[in-house]
Structure 1
């Protein structure tokens, strides 16, 4: 059994619609930050202070912490008392168990003071109607209840009644706000907090209403020398009070171990790889979300439960990729289905599905449940990868007709010149919000003028190719228009996007040939298609992607070239490295037989980013240092890098192709990868690989060897070079399938 190394330094905890966080500067007993989907933040939820009978606050010092994937435990101490804090989160519940032990030589009379603040979407959009900003709160000795409209109810219950307390409304000025992110032409991001002094209301009100609320309650306790006292604070969304700590912890532990049982085991002497692999699976587990509304019939992976709460189109396309390696097809297959449920009658697939109607108030007073805009259709890649791994034709059938309507919408409403190139009408449709290629637009705009983007059209081109493949698999006739537009897109891309003098693809203003002369990653992305001829392909590779003056940074691939005046290696879409873009390059280069380029990029990217990474939104393209938000869904693409590219397992429709990329990583082992009817183990030795299938057949392959293995007509068929050493481990009588070996000439 390979040791599963899960990071023990995670200060965050995750449920379904809730996420908790406690930073170093919030070193106190209790639950610090709690986020509820996209509308409520508790800052803090419940801070617990220990006071003397005279009201003097004891200074508690954190002495130890054990922060695991199931629960968090911290120990605090002072001269007279020690405090053990235990917090567990599961589904839409959280439980805090506090145990106080007297260290005094005589009896102690103490007061526990519990306080918190509940904020209505401080980071969110400026809601226009007072009733939508207002939350209602009530406090009793047994519990605190907060309601927002009839949509969200949170309940905080105490295992023993409070002696007294109060609840009150706060103004926005009462809430501390700290800027933590700012860049050109992007939303500022803030952290919020209700300071302790503000949380202690002078009134004993039992009810209050406002955009922000605060509460405070007290409980007097007596402790003899060595005696202990335990109190629980239980949180839940909905009408049912939260479960006790022991019950909730048992449920969490059971869910975590059931999840791990479906995760292929991985180990390496390169410990940063092992840690990153299991961190990624933890984030996938943590970010899984179910939302109780018919628009969200299928569970999905949250982009980030601390900031990007809704479901996003291009994010979900990337989220599905690591789920392919989970030994249960449900998460991968359900990841994108909600977008079909929310497809517009026109055929448009929106880029964002809102959990709540008020999320649509970004631009106007409307009850829209989705955006009126789309995003790059990255599902063009993920849908076929999911099908290849699991072979479920019904899965393809679910998407086929909706994708035909979406492709028709792109042609009818987004192709102004009828030349196979679709435009975006807003920067958010691009996904690359503040790229310098949009700077000319922002300097001269009343509204965002439409641009035909190279990367947007690369994914649309791949989408059309995917539709053709789906039709062939499902036995359907491919609409003639789709094939025609594939050819038209390729022709127009080389006539309009490509600067033949520079050998680079540039975005253009819609239905024109006016190029936006900014060297973004998108200009090299056609390498993953058949657009470039051999001459252009060589220039894209050598003059740009692999050039240390352009895109070959120490942690490639940057969002814009180093030669751009606006380049900043840490800055969002103005030079930072984004994991989904690097993944797309490695995946696409390998598919197009640029193995050396794919290997170089993967090797450098992993070497730099895994030193620091916690599945971040993006990272510094020079140092690999974390920059964006941690626990980002597409940050988990490390799973695919490790299994597909380092360990070399490429799913096929009958089994797999073994084709690892050559990197510095020579110590690798992955076990229990399930592919159709096979269970595969891969282990790297000093100068060769050992690939075991079903524990019965062992294939020893030299470094650099490529072979395939699959089940055909009941036979296990292995095809590869002559220097493969294939051995049957089990006796012939126990071997489940006949073995057929095909040797290349």
Structure 2
């Protein structure tokens, strides 16, 4: 994606000999705006996703944030991941939220007193020095750690960054590949829609419908204080989310196929799990360890993944309901994200690229950025959380996948659109996939971080 002859990002373009191109203006505006957002959301040890709606540290947010921060503040990027890993549980899981004790309980729900990690999670090895949630999010962390190291290898080596994080990242992978293999076929299962990162996707509606909702009035949502109700999950969905989380907590956060009320093999989650094995191979090589175990695991997981989740008729990977042992026949962006994987069969790559640009996702024709859910799906909503809007982290992963598999023109076009849309939307949490209209929070950290990465790589 390198375009030759670009000026350093953030430079005063008016002082240059040649007038700046539209691309240069967009890249500079994106980089400078992203730097402002990331500096404003930095707490001293980590970065909040947004100051109002998400006032704690989130797991996969921090991984994406570190990927962008490596261009602006490499040591801060290392600290972002190190801070998150201090909250890792003894069983290897990285919790999806690490709570800031200075934030009032009412600022976010579910709050630390709901999760009760240090007591309810005692048998699973939850830390006692910090309160966390008990569920997880997609494993982007090894990829982030490798990219952060590569941004400033000398400083990384001076601080001992990779030797410090490597065993923790391996333990995280082994938790997912062993304790979370609820289907017995080598893939990890999510036990709550929030673990997918794509919290409110219609892909979870069918398995979620089996869950008895928590009684209304037994909890107080905080998200509606900061966001438009039409953008957020419904009360019924939230009641089911709460019931699932409470049930998992009450069983001591133990994992097992016989106790899970919700268990789904999510293609995006598992694709990132496989990508992490490849990243761990790179980390192992960098610190002088043997990478072969990670490479073998990556190949084995890829084989199981394609066999279990690929659907030729749909033209993408489908989620699998582990409890019913049936595929979930909804087309979500989660089924396209395996494009990030090396070693996919050519026919699978070709089909994924065709689906991405076809009637269901419309990238490059109907949509500016890929929607989170099928444009033609019965549950499509361009405004409601994960039920249709376009997200910058999803599109960053798709851009990476397109580029990896040689679809350079499509990747360049998507990157340019993301840069422009980030600036025009005020670095929105997510946007309408057709119009680019801002939705959700503004000054959102992973939006800023990932367009910073694109801006730097597009020079």
Q: Does 1:376 find its partner at 2:188?
A: no
CA distance in 1 between partners of 2:61 and 2:12 (Å):
25
CA distance in 2 between partners of 1:266 and 1:457 (Å):
43
Q: Does 1:360 find its partner at 2:104?
A: no
SS at match of 2:380: coil
CA distance in 1 between partners of 2:431 and 2:393 (Å):
11
CA distance in 2 between partners of 1:365 and 1:610 (Å):
36
* Paired position in structure 2 for 1:463: 276
* Paired position in structure 1 for 2:96: 351
CA distance in 1 between partners of 2:143 and 2:304 (Å):
22
Q: 2:331 aligned to 512, 519, 529, which one?
A: 519
Asked if 2 retains the 8 angstrom alpha-carbon contact of 1:586 and 1:598, the reply is yes
Q: 1:463-502 maps to which residues of 2 (within 5 A)?
A: 463-478=276-291, 480=293, 482-502=294-314
Query: Compared with structure 1, are the counterparts of its residues 605 and 282 closer, same or farther at alpha carbon in structure 2 (3 Å cutoff)?
Result: closer
CA distance in 2 between partners of 1:263 and 1:332 (Å):
19
Cα distance, 1:348 vs. partner? 1.2
Cα distance, 1:445 vs. partner? 1.7
Query: Compared with structure 1, are the counterparts of its residues 325 and 338 closer, same or farther at alpha carbon in structure 2 (3 Å cutoff)?
Result: same
SS at match of 1:288: coil
Asked if 2 retains the 8 angstrom alpha-carbon contact of 1:276 and 1:638, the reply is yes
Asked if 2 retains the 8 angstrom alpha-carbon contact of 1:266 and 1:277, the reply is no
* Paired position in structure 2 for 1:563: 376
* Paired position in structure 1 for 2:148: 386
CA distance in 1 between partners of 2:400 and 2:267 (Å):
18
Q: Does 1:643 find its partner at 2:456?
A: yes
Gaps of 5+ in 2: 1-7, 14-19, 106-110, 120-129, 213-243, 245-260
* Paired position in structure 2 for 1:425: 191
Asked if 2 retains the 8 angstrom alpha-carbon contact of 1:451 and 1:510, the reply is yes
Query: Compared with structure 1, are the counterparts of its residues 506 and 531 closer, same or farther at alpha carbon in structure 2 (3 Å cutoff)?
Result: farther
* Paired position in structure 1 for 2:59: 313
Aligned positions, number: 373
Tell me the TM-score normalized by structure 1. Answer: 0.48
Q: Does 1:278 find its partner at 2:278?
A: no
Asked if 2 retains the 8 angstrom alpha-carbon contact of 1:551 and 1:561, the reply is no
Q: Does 1:507 find its partner at 2:319?
A: yes
- TM-superposition CA deviations, 1:384-435 (whole Å, max 9, x none): 1111111123211111111111112112210124432101111111111110
Cα distance, 1:342 vs. partner? 1.2
Asked if 1 retains the 8 angstrom alpha-carbon contact of 2:359 and 2:376, the reply is no
Query: Compared with structure 1, are the counterparts of its residues 263 and 397 closer, same or farther at alpha carbon in structure 2 (3 Å cutoff)?
Result: farther
RMSD of aligned Cα (Å)? 2.3
Cα distance, 1:532 vs. partner? 3.1
Query: Compared with structure 1, are the counterparts of its residues 353 and 266 closer, same or farther at alpha carbon in structure 2 (3 Å cutoff)?
Result: farther
Cα distance, 1:603 vs. partner? 3.4
- TM-superposition CA deviations, 1:45-104 (whole Å, max 9, x none): xxxxxxxxxxxxxxxxxxxxxxxxxxxxxxxxxxxxxxxxxxxxxxxxxxxxxxxxxxxx
* Paired position in structure 1 for 2:410: 597
Q: 1:624 aligned to 432, 436, 441, which one?
A: 436
CA distance in 1 between partners of 2:309 and 2:117 (Å):
38
Cα distance, 1:383 vs. partner? 1.3
* Paired position in structure 2 for 1:330: 75
- TM-superposition CA deviations, 1:203-234 (whole Å, max 9, x none): xxxxxxxxxxxxxxxxxxxxxxxxxxxxxxxx
Gaps of 5+ in 1: 1-261, 291-298, 648-745
SS at match of 1:349: coil
Q: Does 1:340 find its partner at 2:340?
A: no
Q: Does 1:397 find its partner at 2:163?
A: yes
